[in-house]
């Protein structure tokens, strides 16, 4: 009887010892090391640092060049219509350095250059760049002799207005314009059917409303004499026509 009790007690102790005592922690498995992820993180940090360094270096490798601030027509100089802008240096592009803007003003545009263009040396040449058979004529217009908003590059018709009763003047105008169809200025026909506005002097800041507006016109060489004669008498009016 005693033996059975002892055996039973021993069995109980054995069953109890198979489980962890109260408060004991189960052993945790060792953490898996991932060297590939650590190497990738280090690589990303290095790439980011290298990229930031390259941006700083590229930002410092810039040059100050010329950009036009208004439309420049063929045969015109940039004049005061230029400003400086920073661009990435590229030896394959012949930018005009800002320090050479003085020399650039002595050159003429080969073709129209539009506002906001960063210019290159190939856009300019010395002397007049007018196409063959064309002439540049300056006119000074009063209010009412030109449409509002006229600008460089517009296509206009040139009319003779005012006192045209002098037969000599009309005859002279007609003979000098005989090479151009519809350019005699008689019977309401225009002196020039289609002329290009080369430049318009900006006088918006003028406080005198009667100030004349200087406009440069590009016309055929055979029409230049009649336009000049009418302009000297203050008898030129411009009308914008289709083609703009």
Query: Could you please report the per-residue DSSP string of 195-242?
Result: EEEEEE---TT-S-TT--EEEEEEEEGGGHHHHHHHHHTT-EEEEE-S
Instruction: Note the pLDDT of residue 177.
Output: 41
Residues 145-186: tens digit of each pLDDT: 999 888 878 899 999 987 654 444 444 444 344 334 334 455
Using 50, 70 and 90 to split pLDDT, how confident is the model at 187? low
- Region 16-41 average pLDDT: 65
Instruction: Note the pLDDT of residue 108.
Output: 85
Nearest to 172 by CA among 156, 185, 159: 185
- pTM for the model stands at 0.47
- Find where tokens 């601030």 sit: 69
Q: Judge whether residue 188 has pLDDT over 90.
A: no
Residues 207-220: tens digit of each pLDDT: 444 478 888 898 99
Residues 42-100: tens digit of each pLDDT: 888 888 877 777 766 555 578 899 999 988 877 788 888 999 999 988 888 899 999 99
CA torsion sign, 222 to 232 to 193 to 150? positive
Question: How far, rounded to the nearest angstrom, does the alpha carbon of residue 230 sit from its chain's CA centroid?
Answer: 37
DSSP 77: -
Query: Could you please report the per-residue DSSP string of 89-138?
Result: --TTS-B-BGGGHHHHTTSEESS-B-TT-B-BGGGEESS--PPTTEEEEE
Domains and CATH numbers, the chain: 62-125 (3.90.1210.10), 134-240 (no CATH)
Answer whether 69's CB lies under 8 Å from 117's CB. no
Q: If you average pLDDT over each of 20-34, 48-62, 190-204, which comes out highest?
A: 190-204
Using 50, 70 and 90 to split pLDDT, how confident is the model at 4? low
Using 50, 70 and 90 to split pLDDT, how confident is the model at 244? low
- Region 98-126 average pLDDT: 89
Please give the torsion angle defined by the CA atoms of residues 192, 196, 201 and 202, in that order, rounded to the nearest 10 degrees: 110
């Amino acid at each position: 009887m005693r033996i059975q009790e002892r055996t039973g007690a021993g069995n109980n102790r054995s069953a109890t010892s198979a489980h962890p005592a109260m408060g004991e922690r189960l052993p945790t498995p060792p953490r898996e090391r991932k060297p590939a992820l650590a190497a990738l993180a280090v690589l990303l940090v290095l790439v980011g640092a290298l990229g930031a360094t390259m941006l700083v270096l590229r930002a410092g490798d810039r040059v100050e060049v010329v950009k036009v601030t208004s439309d420049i027509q063929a045969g015109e100089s940039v004049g005061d219509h230029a400003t400086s802008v920073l661009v990435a240096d590229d030896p394959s592009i012949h930018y005009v350095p800002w320090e050479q803007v003085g020399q650039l003003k002595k050159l003429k545009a080969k073709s129209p250059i539009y506002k906001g263009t960063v210019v290159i040396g190939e856009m300019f040449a010395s002397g007049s760049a007018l196409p063959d058979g064309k002439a540049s004529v300056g006119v000074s217009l009063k209010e009412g002799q030109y449409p509002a908003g006229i600008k460089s590059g517009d296509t206009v018709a040139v009319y003779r207005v005012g006192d045209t009763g002098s037969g000599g003047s009309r005859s002279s105008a007609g003979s000098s314009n005989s090479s151009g169809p519809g350019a005699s200025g008689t019977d309401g026909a225009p002196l020039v059917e289609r002329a290009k506005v080369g430049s318009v002097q900006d006088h918006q800041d003028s406080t005198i409303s009667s100030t004349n507006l200087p406009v440069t016109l590009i016309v055929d060489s055979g029409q230049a004499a009649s336009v000049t004669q009418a302009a000297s008498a203050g008898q030129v009016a411009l009308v914008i026509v289709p083609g703009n």
